[in-house]
Structure 1
């Protein structure tokens, strides 16, 4: 393996690097940097705030010292911007570039900060910028577990040239050695450096009412384990609280009793677990912040797992007398706000909630979440980092790498909505969130505070805080774009080999080790049993197998007979008409019946009938043991009100009269007939197998049954082993099989041609797909080549494209049949887009592939209005956050505009017609203005 060029002999780059730092390196940083200087790749796993990025910065130093290039990648644009600013301050703007999709600053610089997707795209395009690359830093590499975007990290790791040194920086994960082992397998020499020591110690607390308690008293070590002890003062105080609630539970019967007010309880009461009223009221947010301020625990980040909750918390504090800043701090805050927001249009400030947001900042309070306007969010980050904002209410997205450490982290609840349901926080999530507590170089210690609720047990919090099991799991799976690029760059065999080298397959293969061990254990047991019977070719084993074959055949025939009878009954029921007389053959409703309403559903026919015993209701094929054919018919009144007893009595009497002259077949076979039927049903193969059994040498053994029981044990183990082997086969090469299915679909659709020898040739349409990087890549490519978006002007194109990228926050996608304000051209294009998606989904189901996401029109009108008018208020009012009329926040509006911009940029570069490329270019210009253009970084 080729090593990167080293600096001049005799120089020690690490010493030169550390001399420039205002602090001394920790042991883990020295270990990682030394390995890097010796030409190794490194994986560094350490807690948030431990200083992992120093190792990435040393890679930058090495590349510059050697006259080579370094790419510094991050998962999100905000982190890229932050890192770009840090490196510019150290090395100067001429040596540092930035590529995020939104921005292209000095892209030819020797050091370029970029999002990981940008590097992936460069690798697939074989970009000239890769020449001279010696180091790649992958910050937040644990992001490869992300369900939506995690595959990008593995693609980069697998595709990078072998002579590039990889620096992987990860939060603490419990399977770091496994992850490092995989990187070493695919990248060569890799040093794994794990450090679980927090540079700033973290103290765990619970706040009960307005009192803050330590969570832990200490640890008790026994011979076999260490048990964490919960603070007895905390337990005692909570017990007193609960006792007070229990005593308050008794209330006189009558007015005011719980349940007489819609379940809310009396004023001043809250419903506790089990619906009981409780006097306990958790402290208000201003009270919590006030307590933290009094205890010297500010600045603090309070995690509220809802954007609306974050905004409501700030409003709650603004309604109180809470003020956390002095006059000097307010002056500095105002200067930052004015500088950051200078480019905002005055007409938009009210719509953006600017004045209330500003007032919060001036009092040292702010919200932080993805729904904030980016310029607002970045202002909050700058002020909090400078120590001017003292209390931030944030969603968990803040925990993802944004450099906003605090002295204290507060968790209001230990449950969050995961997109599908409310679920308890995992130990990994708890550690990631509380990892923000403790500012290195500022705080002696950090603090995590959980607010107590009546349904929270201190022991559960202690378990979360002391558990260190959060493994990294791969989310890698072939996409259409990945498949087409692999097919273009390498043949199917090479593509298979690359997929087999992925971390996903690495983990899958390791997961089958235990299964394979189980197969081996089963084989040993089979050998022991076979030896007891006289060997694997012992006659009794053949006899037992023959018996098992007969039993399987009998069950299969019985099942088939039942299905045939059920189908025959269904067919007969579906053919019944009003007035037909039938015989119900079993159950309490057995006897004659007349059809009042025929069945509507042919797959599960359930006609409405009235029996001779006056019962009326719907019947199905399960009500029949024999034939359900009609035995006659009768006339019925035009309307039969079968719910009225008198009507049921009269119709039942008429039914008995009409059936008097009919020959009604009996439903039960005569004695001996059932056996004759069974004999008649036996197929020739089953009869031959029974003859073989009777003629088998083991059939007449005196101890036959005892020996058969032993043989059947062997056969059970054999069946279990076969089932386990199926699981092993399913896990092994599963990615390669998915790749092959995608290839078949793309061959059918003309994106790939199969040529002689099994090779794959990417067509012109396939090359178009290879340049589309989107979750809906195949749909975009199909719409481009079919001309579905031809003839649209700039605003119309932006609107239609938004349906491909937008995703409503609720359960229901935006209605596709009608889009308010859509032009005829837009309606046509949306209809064609949805038609293409339907056809793709049908193909995916046929090939057993995950189905593509449905187009969502919830943003179409909003972005159309934005491009045509630039009116923020009108555009926000036209947006739909959940398919139910709820408008988007300004931050979400900007975020979705930028997603559409990304796709428009790809369409501008790949569209097959000049007119469509021009429309895309104009749409980009129409979107990138006003709030969308402000603070685009």
Structure 2
């Protein structure tokens, strides 16, 4: 029985909850709040801003939902912002189910549903644009929930989060929801500084315990010697939790086996066979179907399997289908089929094959699927829906799935612990590991979650344990002033106040705090440099000087190698341009196709991509990147008119003609010059000079030269890093406002800003600058510069659609060949204009020490132009490397920019009409029907 004092406290607390609405909210959700949720909701009810940092699946969104509840209760609006459209769509559906369609809206740039509703879900960019436009939709706004706020670290889009946080009215409560970050106090401190009273609530606790495993040869082994969960590992940082000794033994055996299979071992044989065969370790690799079956036997399905490759994900599904694996019952397969057929009925029948519908359907019917950015959006959303309903049991996904979309699983599998970052293969970080494996364990369904790492030949159990043990996920700002941002700030506040506002960014907040630590690093590195210098001391001469010569020689040789590669590629492209149908060539490049005949010419793209028939009757496409150098025409044969190679007989007959011509050794139609590729004259001359200088240097004859050189290389690397730190320290003070000043200078150079004596008046923005204020994107100024020339004014809708794609698209690979042939003369003029303007702009940016604007990219011009003219999807994607999902994603971004342009005040009326017509022509078929929100 409670005491009178306890009874009084309970009554008081109940009254407080009644006043704040917390009791009513708790009753509406039907479950008890965790302590961190309770604390955060009380802070929201008290009028404070809140930063909630907690693991994936811990239930952070409940705090955002309470803020929405409070908004409706007080007669105010609530905005719920997300980083991606898919997450916005998902949250919109959730809130509609709770509050009804009349009270919830959705704004994602390409979709508007009930935009004036009391609750509006939107992407963060939409809110940023509203703030700069001073939209009426902001009236009565009381709460903004910023889901996945740690996305402000994103290199390309992260600045948007900071812009929103800085510019929201002071009376708007901001509820920031973040993954667990190691510097939450720092980020919360900044929020408190710019937004006022902000409560920081951090929870390391996972409601569902997470256990770590390694799968070797189909066997599931615990990672740690003790049975410890996520929370227990986090709570024991002062002691190292031992790795499972069985894994350590396995690693030793794998290492020994690898050594035994080395070059020496391969040559040693005795009476009983090779030594390597006797030392072969047990098989530790497991196929993807076997891995899924092992998880099924262990009761660990449904599972998310992270494979850091789109092709890898699709290949995994294909392997499982070929193996005959099926994870669904007859009833489940029937339910999946109904869902799939509903989707198929809404898509153009002619597009199903090119969309990969049938293999996608086959995998889903068996209970597994791929999920990556190249998949059609509606396909991804169907996969997400079926997975949440428990019908799909295994999803092979890239790391893009880790962002926000609600797809928890009983287990998460990491196929590898490295990924391609666009430039090279790099190890994943502890933060990435934590975020990816955080989806394991479904609240209310599973009593525990499981993270599984697949054993690879070079797996180091200690390194895996390190990833699973660390909780280091620092949130670092990526904020920098853009052209559009700078103009909008200047227009609203004048230049001086704009500079002050930018100084309140999280980027500057971190820069100011980091200088002390950086200075400490410099002192430490200077001590190490002194030690390295001592170790590389040579009695014959100045070894530092010798190291500098070696380093420069290495750099020049690498640059010469890149020059040779560029020359070889250009020569190959030029030779492809000169080919004719029927020419016989020999292809010795990476693909080694051997002797082939040209059967189709295609020069519509960035570089020629011809179709050939090989001697063994295979049809292949070739481009310059497949060749080691220019092609020689070694013979020529007649290719039947209209030859397609679709029938085996046609291919067989033409291959026979090819072999016959080669046997007759007819002379080539023309002789191609022999090419010897070298670096530039300056490079070759400098290489010769440096090699001579090295040989003449006194230290070159030192018997300990290579030992000194190893220390010298360490010294050189550390010195470069230390000098970078020194440079960063000197530039940390007022870094953001300095960048703003450099951006302003470029805007002045191109007549978007007019300098004034006081730099405070609003009149300094020109008419072109006012138009640029409405253009958002990574090529904002370039887009404006092209538009101001008038080359887009007389374009038809399809021409405008095709050309605007060049100001939006960015190829996944840096694979630029010669300029393509454009669909029309007007697009050709606009393309040439954009390239010239980009060259001028990049020069100005280099002078101002600003990052270079991304060059226009022609890779999407033909596909979008064809699509806008009504071509089917197969025709639009023919000859490209675009996946259907990529095409739809880029098409939607083209729509977004066209929509921005159409709404610019005082825009040329003809161009505005063409923009609107272009939007209508692009938004059809798979582009129009790309999500489940109807």
Determine if the TM-score, normalized by the shorter chain, exceeds 0.5: yes
Verify: 1:803 aligned to 2:806, yes or no. yes
State the shift of 1:152 in Å: 0.1
Whether contact under 8 Å (2:17, 2:23) holds in the other structure is: no
Which residue of structure 2 aligns with residue 100 of structure 1? 108
Distance 1:933 1:141 in 2: 29
Distance 1:8 1:104 in 2: 39
Structure 1 residues 470 and 935: CA distance shift in structure 2, 3 A: same
**912, 919, 927: which one aligns with 2:914:** 919
Return 396-405 or 908-917, whichever deviates more: 908-917
Whether contact under 8 Å (2:251, 2:460) holds in the other structure is: no
Distance 1:327 1:620 in 2: 73
2:214 match: secondary structure? strand
1:137 match: secondary structure? strand
State the shift of 1:618 in Å: 7.9
Which residue of structure 2 aligns with residue 904 of structure 1? 898
Verify: 1:407 aligned to 2:401, yes or no. no
Distance 1:339 1:491 in 2: 54
Distance 1:232 1:618 in 2: 55
TM-score normalised to structure 1 length: 0.74
Mapping 1:39-188, distance limit 5 Å: 39-188=47-196
Q: C-alpha offsets along residues 636-660 of structure 1, whole Å, 9 cap, x if unaligned?
A: xxxxxxxxxxxxxxxxxxxxxxxxx
Whether contact under 8 Å (2:348, 2:925) holds in the other structure is: yes
Q: C-alpha offsets along residues 264-309 of structure 1, whole Å, 9 cap, x if unaligned?
A: x99x999xxxxx9877461110000011001111001110000000
1:393 match: secondary structure? strand
Which residue of structure 2 aligns with residue 687 of structure 1? none
Whether contact under 8 Å (1:139, 1:168) holds in the other structure is: yes
Verify: 1:427 aligned to 2:438, yes or no. no
Whether contact under 8 Å (1:813, 1:857) holds in the other structure is: no
2:746 match: secondary structure? helix
Structure 1 residues 445 and 601: CA distance shift in structure 2, 3 A: closer
State the shift of 1:341 in Å: 3.0
Distance 1:245 1:520 in 2: 42
1:227 match: secondary structure? coil
Mapping 1:734-749, distance limit 5 Å: 734-749=735-750
State the shift of 1:796 in Å: 1.1
Whether contact under 8 Å (1:814, 1:857) holds in the other structure is: no
Distance 2:484 2:817 in 1: 26
Mapping 1:851-862, distance limit 5 Å: 851-862=852-863
State the shift of 1:27 in Å: 0.3
Structure 1 residues 620 and 827: CA distance shift in structure 2, 3 A: same
Structure 1 residues 791 and 20: CA distance shift in structure 2, 3 A: same
Which residue of structure 1 aligns with residue 713 of structure 2? none
Q: C-alpha offsets along residues 206-240 of structure 1, whole Å, 9 cap, x if unaligned?
A: 01101110001238999993111111233334445
Two-structure CA RMSD over aligned residues (Å): 3.4
Verify: 1:328 aligned to 2:323, yes or no. no
Distance 2:258 2:774 in 1: 63
State the shift of 1:9 in Å: 11
State the shift of 1:603 in Å: 7.5
Q: C-alpha offsets along residues 498-536 of structure 1, whole Å, 9 cap, x if unaligned?
A: 111100000000011346789999xxxxxxxxxxxxxxx
Q: C-alpha offsets along residues 183-219 of structure 1, whole Å, 9 cap, x if unaligned?
A: 0000000000000100100000001101110001238
Verify: 1:504 aligned to 2:499, yes or no. no
**238, 241, 246: which one aligns with 1:228:** 241
Structure 1 residues 370 and 601: CA distance shift in structure 2, 3 A: closer
Mapping 1:283-432, distance limit 5 Å: 283-432=286-435
Structure 1 residues 9 and 451: CA distance shift in structure 2, 3 A: closer
Whether contact under 8 Å (1:751, 1:766) holds in the other structure is: yes
State the shift of 1:738 in Å: 0.7
Structure 1 unaligned segments of length 5 or more: list them. 1-6, 257-264, 271-275, 522-599, 608-616, 624-720, 880-886
Structure 1 residues 295 and 124: CA distance shift in structure 2, 3 A: same
State the shift of 1:621 in Å: 14
Whether contact under 8 Å (1:200, 1:445) holds in the other structure is: yes
Which residue of structure 2 aligns with residue 882 of structure 1? none
Distance 2:389 2:39 in 1: 31
Verify: 1:26 aligned to 2:39, yes or no. no
Distance 2:860 2:277 in 1: 43
Verify: 1:773 aligned to 2:767, yes or no. no
Structure 1 residues 814 and 475: CA distance shift in structure 2, 3 A: farther
Distance 2:732 2:308 in 1: 36
Distance 1:852 1:802 in 2: 16
2:199 match: secondary structure? strand
Return 18-27 or 165-174, whichever deviates more: 18-27
Q: C-alpha offsets along residues 322-363 of structure 1, whole Å, 9 cap, x if unaligned?
A: 110111111111111122332111111111111111111110
State the shift of 1:870 in Å: 3.0
State the shift of 1:604 in Å: 8.5
State the shift of 1:108 in Å: 0.7
Structure 1 residues 9 and 415: CA distance shift in structure 2, 3 A: closer
Verify: 1:17 aligned to 2:32, yes or no. no
Distance 1:336 1:405 in 2: 21
1:756 match: secondary structure? coil
State the shift of 1:728 in Å: 4.2
Distance 1:9 1:414 in 2: 47
Whether contact under 8 Å (2:253, 2:281) holds in the other structure is: no
2:62 match: secondary structure? helix
Distance 1:318 1:854 in 2: 42
Distance 2:343 2:98 in 1: 23
Which residue of structure 1 aligns with residue 923 of structure 2? 928
Which residue of structure 2 aligns with residue 216 of structure 1? 224
Which residue of structure 2 aligns with residue 657 of structure 1? none
Larger Rg: 1
Which residue of structure 1 aligns with residue 790 of structure 2? 787
1:230 match: secondary structure? coil
Verify: 1:201 aligned to 2:209, yes or no. yes
2:776 match: secondary structure? coil
Distance 2:57 2:831 in 1: 47
Distance 1:374 1:490 in 2: 40
Structure 2 unaligned segments of length 5 or more: list them. 1-14, 525-678, 694-721
Whether contact under 8 Å (2:384, 2:407) holds in the other structure is: yes
Whether contact under 8 Å (2:752, 2:765) holds in the other structure is: yes
Which residue of structure 1 aligns with residue 199 of structure 2? 191
